[in-house]
Chains A and B, each alone.
Chain A
Amino acid sequence: MSTQSTQRPAEDARRGTLRGAVDGMRRTELSTSQKLMIFVLSMSLFGLSNIILEIIPDVSLGPIDISVSNMIFVPLAMAALFSPFWAALGAPLGEIVFTDLLMGDFSGLAEVEGYLQMFLAIYIGGSLVRNPRNRIQIILGAIAIILIDKVLSAVVDLGKVWVGVEDAEYVEGLPESMLAIEVIGLGADVLMSGILLGAIPAIWLIPALHGKIEPLMGMRPRVPGEPIPDSAPRTPLFVGVVLLLSVASFGFAFLEAFDLSAGSFEPDFIDRFGNGFLLLAVAAIAVVMIVAIILFRFSRTAVDPAADGTADHGTAAAPTATDTDVDTSR
C-alpha cells in the first residue's frame, strides 16, 4: 500500500515530508515527537472545550442533570485521526489541568477516578473508529465513549449507596429510586453529550479534518485497513486490564467516600480496624494499579508483532523497535 492512495491536501505549504508509512522501509508506529504532539493537541483542545462548557450554565431537573458534561467529539476526533492511546492519555489531563486546577476545584482522589474512567472510555471508543470516513463507526465510537465513562461512574454511585458508605440515611431515597435516577441520567447523558454534542458534530468534523490536519503535524493521513497506531488490542489480556483499571477507579471513589462518612455510617468501624484499614485499602488499590499497568504492557507487546506482520505483507524489514519506543517515552 503506498502513500499515494490518499489525496494530499495542497492548502498548506509547510507539510514537509510525510512520515509513518507501512511498506517495509517506512513505519506505522509513531515517533516520540509525534506522540508528544498528539498528546499535547488532545490535551489543549479538550481543555479548551471544557473551559467553554464552564461558561455555559448547567440545567438540572431536580437530581437529574441534563447538561452537556463533555464535548466528546474533540477527543474522539483526535483518537480517530491520530492515535487512540495518546489522545486518551492527553484528553483527561487537559480537563484536570485547564478547568480543575485553574478554577480551584481540584478534588484529589476523585480526579484520579475521573482520569482513569475517561482514559478507558476514549481509548476503547476511539479504537472502534477504524476508518475515519465511516460515519457509522464514528457514531458508535461517540456513544461508546459516553457509555463507558458514564456507566463506570454510575456503578460507582450505585455502589456507594449499596454499601451505604455515602450519607444515604438522611435522604430517604431507596436504592430503587437511585437506580431510576442513574438510568434516566445515563439516558440524558447519552442523548446530550453522546449524540447532540458527540456523534452529530463528529460525523461532520472527523471526515472534514481527515487528510487536512495530519500534514500540519507532519503525519500521513490514516488509510482504512492499515493498522491503527496504538489502538486498543483485542485480546483477553486487555479485557483483564480494563476490568482491573475500572476496579482501581472504583477503589479511589470508595476510598474517598469512606473517608467522607465512615464514622457517621458505622462509628466503631474505624475503631475496630484503626486507620490501618485505610492504608490497607490504599495498598490494595496500588497493587491493582501496578498489576493493571504490567498487564497492559504485556497485552501491547503481545499484539504488536501480529499487527506488524499483517502490515508488512512479508517484506524483510520488520520493525522491532515498537515496544522499547513506547516504554521509554512514557
Chain B
Amino acid sequence: MARKTHDVLSVEWVRLELLRTAYSTRGGLFSRMDPRMVLAWYVLLALAPWFTHNLTVLIGMFLLGVISVALARVGPLVLGLFVFGVGADVIGLFVASFLFGGDLTTLIALAELNLKLGAVSMASMAAFVSLDPEKLSDALLSLRAPELLAFGVSYGYRMLPILVDEYVTVFEGQRLRHAPPPTRGLLGWRVILTWCVLAVTAFYPIMLNTAKNVRTTVEALETRGFTYGTNNPAGRALRLAYLKVTALDVAVLAASALAVVGAYWLGAQFPLHR
C-alpha cells in the first residue's frame, strides 16, 4: 500500500529541500527582518572571527553561529552538508598532518581554523537561507550592486529547482531508453561509464530548452523595461520603497553586536591560545 519513505537521501528529497531553502518557507527570525539588515548582520558575524586568534572568543563566535542557525531554522540538507564538510575537513587535515609527522597539537592548531570557518559558514547559512530571492536581490540593488548581479541571484534561485527537475526528467528518460551494459566490468566501470555518458548527453536537450526559456524570460523582462527600469532612479525608488528598517532589525543587530563584544570581552578575561 503506502510506500514507506525509507530512502531519505533520494534525489526528490534533495530537490524539495533545495526548494524550501530557496524560498525560505521554513520561517525563522531572519526571514522577518529587512534584507539589508540581514546582510549587515552577516557582514558583522562573518568578519568578527577573523580579527582574533583567541580560542575563547572563537568558541563564543561558534556558539553564536549555532544559535543563529537554530533561530533561522536551517533545513537538514544544508546543515547535514555543512556538518559532513567540516567533519571531513578536520579528519582529512588531521590524517594529512599525521602522514607528514604531526601529533596531537596539530589537532588544536586545526581547531582554531575550523572554529573560524565554522562560525563564518553558519552565519552565511543563517543569512542566505532566510532570504528569499526577491528580497535578496532587492537588498543587493538598494546597496548599489550591479543590476546584473541582483538579477542573477533572483533568477538563479527561482530557476534552479525547475532546471534540476528538467535535468532529472531528461536523464531518467534517456536511461529508460538505453539498454544497460551487457556486463558490469571490473568494479562496475561499464555502468559508471554509461552513467557519465548519459549525464553529459542529457545536457544537449537541456541546453536547447533552457535557451528557449531564457529568451522568453529576457524578452518578457525587456518588454517591461528591465534594463532601463533598473537604471532609472524613479523606478528604482518605487521598487525598493517597501524596504523598511523596523525595531526587530535594530534589536537583532544590537543583540548580535553585544554578543560579539561580549565574546571579545570574555576572551580578554580568559584568554586561551594554542
Contact = CB atoms under 8 A, between A and B. Distances in A.
Contacts, number: 166
A146 to B, nearest CB: 16
A36 B227 contact: yes
Majority secondary structure of chain B interface residues (helix, strand, loop or mixed):
helix
Majority secondary structure of chain A interface residues (helix, strand, loop or mixed):
helix
B208 A36 contact: no
B211 A213 contact: yes
Interface in B180-224: 196, 199-200, 203-204, 206-208, 210-212, 214-215, 217-219, 221-222
B44 interface: no
A191 interface: no
Nearest to B217: A40
A65 B99 CA distance: 16
A48 B160 contact: yes
Interface stretch (B28-36, B101-109, B263-271): B101-109
A102 B227 contact: no
Nearest to A105: B121
Nearest to B78: A104
B207 A209 contact: yes
A271 interface: no
Contacts of A173: 100
Contact of A170 (B74, B109, B211): B109
A104 B124 contact: yes
Interface of A: 32-33, 36-37, 39-41, 43-45, 47-49, 51-52, 55, 60, 62-63, 71, 73-74, 77, 89-90, 93-94, 97-98, 101-108, 167, 170-173, 197, 201, 205, 208-209, 212-213, 216-218, 259-261, 263-264, 275, 328-330
Lowest 8 A-B CB distances belong to which pairs? A104-B125, A97-B156, A259-B50, A172-B100, A106-B124, A216-B211, A263-B53, A201-B200
29 contacts: A36-B221, A37-B218, A40-B152, A44-B156, A44-B160, A44-B163, A45-B203, A52-B199, A71-B200, A74-B203, A93-B149, A94-B152, A94-B156, A97-B157, A101-B153, A102-B78, A102-B128, A103-B81, A104-B78, A105-B121, A167-B113, A170-B97, A170-B102, A170-B109, A173-B100, A217-B211, A259-B50, A264-B53, A330-B148
